[in-house]
Every structure is written in C-alpha cells, then in structure tokens.
Amino acid sequence: MTYFSLAQKDICEYSETLNFQRDKERKVKLILMGAPGAGKGTHAKEISKKYTIPHISTGDILREEVRKDSGLGKKAKSYMDSGKLLPDDVIIEIIKKRLQEDDCKKGYLFDGFPRTIHQAELLDEVSVPDAVIYLKCPDDLIIKRLTGRRIGKNGRIYNVYFDPPPEGMEVYQRDDDNEETIRKRLQVFYDTFSPIMDFYKKKGIFHELRGDEEKEVVIGKIFTLLDGLK
Ligand code: AP5
Ligand code: MG
C-alpha cells in the first residue's frame, strides 16, 4: 500500500469518525407519522440508534401498562382492543412525564404521537419538533403487514411474509392485529390525520416519504432527509 493510499484511508476513517460524532451530538426532535403498519416502529429503532435519541412510542408505553395490569393499562386495553384512541388528556400526561426524563435532553423520536390535532397543539406548548416524517402506505399492503406482524421477546419486529422470525423463535402477535381491528384503526387514522398534516405543513416541517418500499430504501431516505436538516 502506498503512502498516498494509506493517508487517504486515514482521512476517510477520520471523516467517518467525525460524521459518527456529529450524529451522536446532534439534537433531533422528530415525529414519525403514518397509518398503522406504515413502518413507524421498524424505522424508529434505526433512527433512534443513529441519532442516539429516545424512541418514544405511546403504543409501546400503553402495551407495557397493559402487561403490568396497572390502572392505566386496564383503561387502555379496551380502547386499544377496539382500535380507538385513548383520551388526549391521558396521552398528554404520559408525554409530559416522559419528556422530563434525562435522555430527552438530546431530543426525541415520537412514534404514534401526536394522533389528534389537540395532541399536536399541546405538544407545541411544551416542545416544538424539528421535523415530521410521514410514511405513506397503501391500505392493502397495511392489512398484509399487520396480519403478518410478529414480535420477538426483545421487541424486534418480524413479519411472516416479509421478514420471518428465525425457526423456533418465540414470538407473539398483538391483540389489535386482527383484520377487524386493523380496519377500525385505519379508519381512525384517516379521520384524524388531515388537520395534523396541515398543522405541520404550515410550520414547514412536514415531509412525506413512501413507506411501501424495501426497508433499506425507506430508512436510507429518512437518513438522507435528516442529515440534510439544518
Ligand atoms: P400504536 O402502537 O402506535 O399502533 P399503530 O399506530 O396502529 O401502528 P403500528 O405499531 O401497528 O404500526 P407501525 O407503523 O409501527 O408498523 P411496524 O413498524 O410495526 O398504537 C396502538 C394503539 O394504542 C392505538 O390504536 C390506540 O388505541 C393507542 N394509542 C397509541 N398512541 C396513542 C395516542 N397518541 N393517542 C391515543 N391513543 C393512542 O411495521 C408493521 C409490519 O410491517 C411489521 O411486521 C414490519 O416487519 C413490516 N414492515 C414495516 N416496514 C416494512 C417495509 N418497508 N417492508 C416490508 N415490511 C415492512
Ligand atoms: Mg408501532
């Protein structure tokens, strides 16, 4: 190897280290939106890792409460099983508490929040996001993705059609991933989405991406978008 190619390699490695450090140090306040099954949870895990910001999924928080059989969990279960949204005041309380935790000093990535215009307005009073990414996905693909979704014990999201779990691995299926509830969740999404989209469009922070492409393509586009943010 010549001196020149060695130096070039060193420069590349140094620049990669700088990029890595810059990603780690950036404060990113982000919202990932999309219909059920658009890929919010799947991509949120990658974004959270790259920018070292907490992935805050109101759905995951509520499912954990259901699992613990807490007061909130008991209340949440009936809403979730029927595909309806929990009352805004319950959700806002959860978010305000979560934002006070130390890890949110570096920013945050909301997945599944805000879900109503009221939630979006209340978030604005506490913290203004830098960017909102909307993953657009057709309904027929959503039904297939959600009926095929399986979740591993460690939270890893699989799919029997697109990304099957390893042979013999113990996985579970969400109670709301049946076709009837999926259709209800979709309806709720379409009933509430437009005012939220308009709210963030007016602020100039709304970005729409295709959520129906290969996972690697979608996450690549998300990273390009986020890296381009000032
Ligand atoms: P929540 O948990 O937020 O569910 P959701 O919005 O219905 O969204 P999902 O988690 O089903 O979909 P996802 O977009 O995360 O998809 P995923 O990445 O897993 O909410 C559940 C309930 O909680 C609500 O109904 C409500 O009752 C309550 N709730 C929560 N937040 C609330 C709030 N703010 N206000 C009021 N109530 C609230 O992907 C799906 C599948 O597709 C996976 O199998 C994955 O492997 C696959 N997949 C994803 N992307 C790709 C790809 N590009 N290619 C191939 N396969 C893919
Ligand atoms: Mg999810």
Q: Residue ranges per domain, the chain?
A: 28-227
Residues 129 and 29: beta-carbon distance below 8 Å = yes
**Atom from ligand 1 closest to the CA of residue 35:** 6
The per-residue pLDDT of the chain, averaged, comes to 92
Residue 178 CA, ligand 2 centroid: distance in Å: 15
pLDDT of 67 higher than 90: yes
Q: Specify burial of residue 25 (Cβ count, 10 A radius: 0-12, 13-18, 19+).
A: exposed
Residue 39 or residue 1, greater confidence: 39
pLDDT of 25 higher than 70: no
List pLDDT tens digits, range 176-218.
999 999 999 999 999 999 999 999 999 999 999 999 999 999 9
Ion ligand 2 nearby residues (CB, 5 A):
40-41
Q: Is the CB of 161 under 6 A from ligand 1?
A: no
Which class in CATH covers the domain with range 28-227?
alpha beta
Enter the pTM of the model: 0.90
